[in-house]
Structure 1
Amino acid sequence: MNPLLNDFNTAPFSKISNNDYKPAIHKAIEHAKNEIDEIVNNLEAPTFDNTTVALDFTGEKLNRISSIFFNLNSAETNDEIQKIAQEISPWLSEFRNDITLNEKLFQRVKSVYDNGKNLDLTPEQQMLLEKQYKGFARNGANLNENDKIQLREIDAKLSKLSLKFGENVLAETNAFELHLTDIKDLSGLPGSVKEAAKEVAKSKEKEGWVFTLDYPSYIPFLTYADNRELRKKMAIAAGKKAFQDNDFNNEQIVLDIVNLRHQRANLLGYKTHSHFVLEERMAETPETVFKFSNDLLAKAKPAALREFKKLENYAKKLDGIDRLQKWDGAYYSEKLKKEIFDLDQELLKPYFKLENVINGVFEIANRLFDLNFEEILNIDKYHKDVKTYNVTDSENNFIAIFYADFHPRKGKRNGAWMTSYKPQQIKNGINERPHVSIVCNFTKPTETKPSLLTFNEVTTLFHEFGHALHGMLANTTYNSLSGTSVSWDFVELPSQVLENWCYEKEALEIFAKHYKTGEVIPMKYVEKIKESASFHEGMQTLRQLSFGLLDMQWHAQNPSEIKSVKEFENKAFADTKLYPDVLENCMSTAFSHIFQGGYSSGYYSYKWAEVLDADAFEYFLKEGIFNKEIATKFKENILSKGGTEKPMTLYKRFRGQEPKPDALLKRAGLI
């Protein structure tokens, strides 16, 4: 019997074989189609319950099976899974279109929507009704038959292209390695980095040390390696991912994706893909995003240019370097930071043992939101590295299952993300609780040392855990409005706000303890962490804005005339450029956020949410970072509410006012 088609509570990872996915998804699609047919063929007049609610509860089995499959395709993939993904993605996109382009179903949905004013609905029910109607209207329900066929073709192509894009980036990441056998080449690298590289070499049955493009290997190499030529080699290898003359080149894929997105938007009556996407975001229009980004750019650029000039002078004074290159930035920044703040990232790492940081973030969640985490070993997992937890509240009510997967491996894409295996919803009077997961790529423990995190990795863990809290504390009736199902420029608020606790003495004392001695991190380090938090913030802001503006340039205009990805990108970067261009490098061909993830026309949301998070955290700072009253307001108005009301309505209910950018500018040292 196919384990995916049995009823299961937690995902039955160990019982699933790759042969199970296609038949299970095929069957689940059939089942979901039958559920849709029941709604369509209901002889009673359309009502909120028999149409709107019924539709929201369809496809549960399909959603659970496909979430297992696609989560594994990101965290534990192989050639076979990638091949299956290419086959089933068009099925799923076809099925989604079968729903949105189903004329009879749309007429029922529209009938309830048109009668909405006469129904006595709660704000959540109203939101469900609107979201559902727009889901149809914005995805082709009002098109004629020929246009519907064209839309289906575009969607099928897009789903395959974005998968192929991601596969190419992963293949290029895995294809490169820097194999060193001369100890002199390791000059400048901390012991822990060398030890990790030795273990990688050993796992590949090689002598010496191997460095890869996985972040825990790549970032420290660029930050600490004294050998400038080797830094250059690593940086260029990372920068030319999917931009080489081989089978994994993504240039044509990028052009195909942006053109298809543009055609799709036009077909649906929108000027550009950005106009289509932003209609449903807090920002609402491309003009708002450009204005927001350019206002911030005007404030950040003078600071960025000053910081860059200082960094250039420093590199010249230190090593006689005339022109700072991309492979010099992290290296000299780290040295300068160390000099100014007398703060060495390597000195901090012993205070950030992974297990302690995990316990710390759990304790902070307990103090703020009354959550308890208990590791359980009887839940099935997809890899031995994954940790599983039972989450309860102070009255011992079951809140969520939490999975955490922390270390890089061959079948796992770079970066860090939060995802879900089961959404929260209230059905038949039962509050079904969510199963939530975070996936990261932190340095592995070695034979002599546990996994010790850089401060950056600590903030990454807090960030993803903030997303997880948004999922775990969800408390809505309908799964399509639950947890992180909020507008994209609001979704980063819970994750980014939680990062702020990493900088506070009161929080650091909970978990920042030396892994050997148990000594709490010295106060002078805490002060230095805080002081250095806005170090090179001008340059960092410029960098983030450059990514957001590149995304908008790709999607807020007609791309049909673009011939060269590289040329186009250089133009888009013109206002934010600090380093000289590297001929063999291109960012767009590996910009997975916008070409594989869901961030197209949405990358600006990181900065947008920073305004919200700085403003929100200022409220905590004023009242105390563990103030129960403020934490409860945050939990009840933001974390538990999902997308049940407009984001600004929820934010104002929590904060008592609209967010102001002053707190962000102050925190960043830009005013």
Structure 2
Amino acid sequence: MSETSVSPVASKGLENPLLKANPLLKAWQTPFETPPFDEIKPEHFMPAFEQAFFDHSAEIAAIVNDPAVPDFANTITALERSGKLLSRVASVFYDLVSAHSNPAILEIDKDVSSRMARHWNPIMMNAVLFGRIVALHDKRAELGLTTEQMRLLERTYTRFHRSGAGLDEAAKARMAEINERLAHLGTSFSHHLLGDEQEWFMELGEGDLDGLAESFVASAKASADERGMTGKAIITTSRSSMEPFLKSSTRRDLREKAYKAFIQRGNNGNANDNNETIVEILKLREETAKILGFPTFAAYRLEDSMAKTPEAVRGLLERVWKPARARALADRDALQELIAEEGGNFKLAAWDWRYYAEKLRQRRANFDDAAIKPYLTLDHMIAAQFDTATRLFGITFAERKDVPVWHPDVRVWEVKDAKGALKAIFYGDYFARPSKRSGAWMTSLRDQQKLDGDVAPLVLNICNFAKGTDGQPSLLSPDDARTLFHEFGHGLHGMLSNVIYPSLSGTSVFTDFVELPSQLYEHWQEQPQVLQTFAKHYQTGEPLPDDLLKRFIAARKFNQGFATVEFVSSALIDLEFHTQPASASADVAAFEKKELEKIGMPEEIALRHRPTQFGHIFSGDHYASGYYSYMWSEVMDADAFGAFEEAGNIFDPAVAKRLHDDIYSSGGSVDPESAYVAFRGRAPAPDALLRRRGLLEEPEAA
């Protein structure tokens, strides 16, 4: 029986007519049992959460109080079956918090984040429950478990152990307080950032459009429409708005104004300021690590990862940092020369870099983003990502108009496997709007599992692309198109999942492995045979000219020094925040300045995510001490795509089958190192990353 088929009406309290009418608590009579977003209102959430907390607590109590000797079925499997209603309610709620919030939803979120921690603390620290898990873990070799069951038992034991289940009562009580406070702080950080992003915009008058492409101006008008400013044009702090403006605008004064607003999000000394929030988060994380017996939060966090130690992470980042910084400094000098050539009497500043880098790229590679954007329409790139998945994995996509959605812009596809059976439902929410947090992400409303029937996942991709206006399509930059494929790679990880147990489904893997399926999928977006098929001019329908395609491919490694410095510096700051004593970062800005000086950060480049807007590590702890994961995974993805190149076919059936079986479908049921070796036949070669970014130092001639 699927999780959405479980009838919640047997739960205590549902005789109340108001609860019986709550769409979150009823069986969903919708296509594929999807959430009835058209019926759900903010006032439905708290009653639904209350019922879900009650049901889950009762299910856990039944496991804890079971008089039978602990076995896999009555303990581990029972845990896997528990909390279905809570998962259902929470997934819908957090989708709206991130993708289509409103003041009522955000107010509820403040309460729910603390309540969620208060609910989970006594479960994850329950001594009797942990005792049952330990008893099974101690004799695991004697239980006759399948490979997946053994993996689930080990992951369950690890999760409870790392949550403090083995601590004494005083330590558990303090851990519970910390967890609740951290949940509140992470929510506050996210709300502050969203608040700053909603409040700032810059209106563009007729004299402010020099250098801006027609398609960009159309998107700026669409952004104004979203804010009720019809007839005007604005830029916002959304990256899809800011990046092209900084690359194209000839108005240096406006570039400076926009850039400073972009990097100051969360750092404006107003009600949305995140500095104090960061300081408290770091103190509490440090205390958590000490309680659990680790010297630093990074040591605690990385023990349960592929990297294992802060030293291993630092080793990778420093290896990349040196050639990236050298390349960035050489590019900086070239940009300064370009300014001088044009008669500019000023020193290159951070708000100039993208603008002059584009000019330099036009000179060196005869290519700029504006030339290719008319060929990269969103609809064509969606078709490209679907076709790639069909050719690799045999799955097909059919758009559905009858599935309820949370916003009119959201699109839905039914995904079928090669035999025509339902595989997943895929939602795409692609456009920026004030109600959506910045960035791009994948999540799910329901995970794949086979424990109670063959449950098809409901997978979401959320992006923040600029919307076209006046009937014009949304045009993507190469970076936008790469982001689209990246998030769809995550989506495939969820859609292709083929496991029994929910806790091992899809993206339930180590953080430094989870980016492999997404970053690997990016490679197909930039392949000539994909672009030649799907990159067509939005006005004429003409395919991408061969000459422009060649120039695009030649220009891919341009400005990689900048991009790598921007990323690696952010990953190093994340690591330093969580390896140094929390007292060292009591002044966040001073800490940032000190660490950047220590690594020799070029002053013309800012962190990709400055601390007060670094939602990856402060809106929650999923990427805390783990932002390096993108680069750790890039070592694997650059090496993994080599398997297709070596086969001489980017859609080679044998390699694609291994990719499906060992990486995309196995979820967390296999150790990630073993999964990679099973696919590739060996461990990844680190030099593939440097080679892909054009940063590999060539050996000197003898």
Fold agreement, TM-score > 0.5 = yes
Distance in 1 separating the partners of 2:222 and 2:674: 51
Deviation, structure 1 residue 207:
5.7
> AA paired with 1:397?
A
- Answer yes or no: is 1:594 the counterpart of 2:614: no
Q: 1:246 aligns with which of 270, 273, 285?
A: 270
Code of the aligned partner of 1:361 = Q
Residue equivalent to 2:513: 490
Give the conservation status (yes or no) of the 8 Å contact 1:391–1:400. yes
Other structure's SS at 1:187 match: coil
* Residue pairs, 1:21-420, within 5 angstroms: 21-181=45-205, 183-202=206-225, 204-205=228-229, 208-420=232-444
Q: Amino acid of the residue matched to residue 522 of structure 2? A: E
**Does structure 1 conserve the Cα–Cα contact (< 8 Å) formed by 2:223 and 2:433?**
no
- Report if aligned partners of 2:560, 2:693 keep a CA contact under 8 Å in 1: yes
In structure 2, the residue corresponding to 1:440 is in which secondary structure? Answer: strand
- Measured in 1, the distance between the counterparts of 2:250 and 2:695 equals 32
Tell me how far 1:665 sits from its aligned partner.
1.6
Question: Given that residues 566 and 605 in structure 2 are in contact (C-alpha distance below 8 angstroms), is that contact kept between their aligned partners in structure 1?
Answer: no
What is the distance in 2 between the residues matched to 1:188 and 1:656? 50
Q: Letter of the aligned partner of 1:562 in structure 2?
A: S
1:425 and 1:544 map into 2 onto residues whose CA distance is: 35
Once residues 579 and 622 of structure 1 are traced to their aligned partners in structure 2, the CA distance between those partners, rounded to angstroms, is 41
**In structure 1, distance between residues paired with 2:265 and 2:507:** 31
Confirm whether residue 665 of structure 1 aligns to residue 665 of structure 2. Answer: no
Letter in 2 for 1:634: L
Residue aligning to 1:564: 587
| Pick aligned residue for 1:2 from 10, 22, 25 | 22
For the residues of structure 1 that align with 2:340 and 2:510, how far apart are their CA atoms? 46
Check conservation: 1:324, 1:579, Cα contact below 8 A.
Answer: no
Per-residue Cα deviation, 1:4-54 (whole angstroms, up to 9, x for no partner)? 111232111111111110010110011011111111111110001110111
**Residue in 1 that maps onto 2:681:** 656
CA contact (8 A) 1:546 1:576 kept: no
Q: For residues 107-126 of structure 1, give each alpha carbon's deviation from its aligned partner in whole angstroms, at most 9, with x where no partner exists.
A: 11111111112111222111
Structure 1 runs not aligned, ≥5 long: none
Structure 2, unmatched stretches of 5+, are 1-20, 697-702
Q: 2:480 aligns with which of 452, 457, 465?
A: 457
- 1:195 Cα shift? 2.3
Please state how far the C-alpha of 1:476 moved relative to its aligned partner.
Answer: 0.6
User: TM-score by structure 2 length?
Assistant: 0.93
SS of the equivalent of 1:77 reads: coil
Q: How far apart are the structure 2 equivalents of 1:53 and 1:73?
A: 31
Q: Which moves more between the two structures, 540-549 or 523-532?
A: 523-532
- Provide the C-alpha distance between the structure 2 equivalents of 1:72 and 1:219, rounded to a whole number of angstroms: 26
The count of aligned residue pairs is 668
Q: What does residue 16 of structure 2 align with?
A: none
Gap change, CA 1:469 and 1:207, over 3 Å in 2:
closer
Q: CA deviation at 1:196?
A: 2.4
Instruction: Report the Cα distance in structure 2 between the residues aligned to 1:83 and 1:184, rounded to whole angstroms.
Output: 41
Determine if contact 1:368/1:631 at 8 Å carries over to the other structure: yes
Equivalent residues in 2 for 1:468-487, closer than 5 Å = 468-487=491-510
What's the offset of the Cα at 1:184? 2.3
Shift of 1:516: 2.5
User: Post-superposition shift, 1:205?
Assistant: 3.3
Corresponding position of 2:464: 441
Q: Deviations over 1:318-370 (max 9, x none)?
A: 24244211101111111111221111212211211111111111111000000
Residues 287, 175 of structure 1: alpha-carbon distance in 2 compared, 3 angstrom cutoff: same
Normalised by the size of structure 1, how large is the TM-score? 0.97
2: CA distance between counterparts of 1:52 and 1:122? 13
What's the % identity of the aligned pairs?
A: 38
- Distance in 2, Cα, partners of 1:83 & 1:208: 31
User: Hey, what's the Cα distance between the residues in 1 that align with 2:192 and 2:287?
Assistant: 24
Distance 1:16 1:627 in 2: 45
- How far apart are the structure 1 equivalents of 2:107 and 2:418? 45
Distance 1:341 1:56, change over 3 A: same
- Looking at structure 2, the residues matched to 84 and 37 of structure 1 have their Cα atoms a distance apart, in angstroms, of 27
Q: Letter of the aligned partner of 1:159 in structure 2?
A: A
CA distance in 2, matches of 1:275, 1:295: 20
Q: Deviations over 1:147-177 (max 9, x none)?
A: 1111111011100101110111111111112
Between the aligned partners of 2:667 and 2:230, the Cα distance in structure 1 is 50
Amino acid at match of 1:546: S
CA-CA distance at 1:580 after TM superposition:
4.9
- In 2, the alpha carbon distance for the partners of 1:48 and 1:27 equals 27
AA partner of residue 293 (structure 2):
G
Q: Residues of 1 paired with 2:358 and 2:311: CA distance?
A: 37
User: 147-156 or 292-301, which moves further after superposition?
Assistant: 292-301
Name the counterpart of 1:523.
546
**Which runs of structure 2 are paired with 1:500-519 in the superposition (5 Å)?**
500-519=523-542
**Residues in 2 aligned to 1:48 and 1:438: alpha-carbon distance in whole angstroms:** 35
Deviations 1:459-478 (A, max 9, x none): 11000000000000000111
Q: Which residue of 2 aligns with 1:610?
A: 634
1:520–1:424 distance in 2 versus 1, CA, 3 Å: same
Partner of 2:582, secondary structure, is coil
Q: What is the Cα-based RMSD across aligned positions, in Å?
A: 1.6
Moved more, 104-113 or 546-555: 104-113
The answer as to 2:559 corresponding to 1:539 is no
Q: 2:584–2:591: 8 Å Cα contact kept in structure 1? A: no
**More deviation, 334-343/418-427:** 334-343
